[in-house]
Amino acid sequence: MRDYSEYKLRTKLNDKEFETNEIDSAIEKLIEQQYLQEHEYIRVKIKSYLEKGYGHSYIINKLKQEELNITVEQIEQIEQKYELYQESTIDYLIQKKLRYKEIPEDFNSKMKLKRKIYSFLCSKGHDQSQISQALSNYF
């Protein structure tokens, strides 16, 4: 009922103490019957992360943990296909953080808020230059 990468499935079966040859044959069978499709799994995961507001570096690192090597170009193709562009995502996240808040007049308070939003966007894996450019529209 749930999608798995080959690595995740292999790990799960290994944790349940199946023999290596049993795991290999089960995975081969799943690939033959097209129940295990890494390219589809990658596409769904990338789309899911983009919809949640994550940036390229975060997505690459998360999928690398599952031993899935992807490129920025693959992410950009999915961004274009589903119109989930990083610039608009950053802008949306800034607006969401600023919702119900007024930008303070005091320079120190303004910079504190700006740093807080900047850190939040960096933690989501967005490019620092794109963050700075987007924040300059607000501050």
Give tens-digit pLDDT for 8-67: 999 999 999 999 999 999 999 999 999 999 999 999 999 999 999 999 999 999 999 999
pLDDT at 1 over 80: no
Contact 63, 45 (CB under 8 A): yes
Structure token pair of residue 17:
């103490």
Domain boundaries, the chain: 6-82, 86-136
